[in-house]
Structure 1
Amino acid sequence: MHRIALTLLLTWSASALAATETEVDAETGLSTWQTETDGIQVRLTQISPDQARAFYQARGFSAEAAERYVAECVFMTVVRNIGQAPIEHRLADWRYLLPQQPPRAIRSKAQWEGLWKQAGVAEPARIAFNWAQFPATQSFAPGDWNQGMTSYGVPRGGRFDLRFVWRSGGKTLSGTLEQVQCADDAS
């Protein structure tokens, strides 16, 4: 019994101590937040409004449709399995937290697809959008990684925490990236 309690305490303590590292790219001025815990590494890198706008207009989005996405707080999201066991994630389980507000779910690819259809975005542009987004679900063998865009309903320059969730070894685990900041228009 004491051994189980000690193991749980040590597991919790290791997760609780996982720090969010932040770095700023000297050339672009864009920031990255990263943490590693329990066999997973999660990284968010700011995508400036101009970068998001150019990316989607180059893929067939009208200026108006691109602005709809640019109104969100957009990040390049990278997940790596840095552990020894397979991991699985479901983006629907992730939440972002704003001060004094309930946790919010990340807008899904299906929700974006509905918005794009309603806005009359052409199918090739919608396919390009879908491919650029972070996968809704994925399994990662040790050493595997993937990247894609995620977006958050946070004002320019606003801060939030991201609580990410994954499964490994039959357990549901979670971690947090703290004080992530949206790129502002000057980035």
Structure 2
Amino acid sequence: MGKIFTLQHYLIVLIACIVSVYLHSSIVYAAKDENRYKIENQFVKFGLYPRTPEQMAAFYEGRGFPRQAIEATKQHCFITVGMRNISKTKIWLDLSRWRIYDKQGDIARTSRDQWKQKWQQRNVSLASQATFNWTLLPETRDLHPDEPVGGNITLQPTDHPFTIEAVFATGEDQKGKPLVIKIDNIRCLKNGDTAP
């Protein structure tokens, strides 16, 4: 009888530990719905929306971008990111803390500074550069409670499914428990794919 009680006791403790770890985990996984990846937890509403090259080309063409700039955008994988801080504390966006990778290794993200160099090499007007920068997700930003942010991240295209692991500092002084959002099996969309 003592052994059964001990076994039951250990099982109860084990189950309680598993539930506790699950409830307090800072890693959040996304649900996929037709090339849309969405998460909502006690901290954020977060979504990723891959775009096709023709979708982005049409967007920039409609804003008067020159042909050479539009062709440059077609050489990248665009992912629109949208998020809202639904917590009661600050959340800190810092793209340098995001890791993007597939089974081959890390995937390069094209930063604002790299785009600026591309635009200068192609003699793209400052007005078009400003418009493009407006469409990018900020490199760094603090998000107060109930504050949204959105924009595109751009990657070197890959034919393999990839993962985005986004790490956010939390708290007024960035010393709260880090929030980690991990989204697997993302794909760069091609023309003809269903885009969100």
- Fold shared, TM-score > 0.5 on shorter chain: yes
Larger Rg: 2
Distance 1:168 1:11, change over 3 A: farther
Q: For 2:166, what is the secondary structure of its paired residue?
A: strand
Partner Cα separation in structure 2 for residue 106 and residue 35 of structure 1: 22
Residues 161 and 180 in structure 1, CA contact (< 8 A), matched pair in contact too = yes
Corresponding position of 2:38: 34
Corresponding position of 1:173: 179
Deviation per CA, 1:92-133, whole angstroms, max 9, x where unpaired?
Answer: 2212111131x3452211111111111111111001000111
Corresponding position of 2:9: none
- Return the match for 2:29 from 19, 24, 30: 19
Q: In percent, how many aligned pairs have the same letter? A: 24
Q: Does 1:88 align with 2:99?
A: no
Q: For 1:184, what is the secondary structure of its paired residue?
A: coil
Write the mapping of 1:25-174 to structure 2, written as runs, cut at 5 A.
31-37=35-41, 39-101=43-105, 103-155=106-158, 158-169=160-171, 170-171=175-176, 172-174=178-180
1:37 Cα deviation (Å)?
4.9
Unpaired runs of at least 5, structure 2: 1-16
Residues 95 and 106 in structure 1, CA contact (< 8 A), matched pair in contact too = no
Residues 35 and 177 in structure 1, CA contact (< 8 A), matched pair in contact too = no
Residues 68 and 122 in structure 2, CA contact (< 8 A), matched pair in contact too = no
Unpaired runs of at least 5, structure 1: 1-5, 25-30
Residues 37 and 175 in structure 1, CA contact (< 8 A), matched pair in contact too = no
1:38 Cα deviation (Å)?
5.9
Deviation per CA, 1:134-185, whole angstroms, max 9, x where unpaired?
Answer: 1111111111111111111123x54210011111021333221111111111
- Return the match for 2:188 from 145, 164, 182: 182
Q: Per chain length, whose mean CA-contact separation is higher, i.e. which structure has more relative contact order (CA < 8 Å, sep 6+)?
A: 2
1:40 Cα deviation (Å)?
2.6
Corresponding position of 2:21: 10
Corresponding position of 2:11: none
Partner Cα separation in structure 1 for residue 45 and residue 124 of structure 2: 34
Q: How many residues align?
A: 171
**TM-score normalised according to structure 2 size:** 0.78
Corresponding position of 1:28: none
Residues 43 and 79 in structure 1, CA contact (< 8 A), matched pair in contact too = yes
Distance 1:38 1:163, change over 3 A: farther
Moved over 4 A (4+): none
**TM-score normalised according to structure 1 size:** 0.82
- The more displaced of 170-179 and 158-167 is 170-179
1:13 Cα deviation (Å)?
5.6
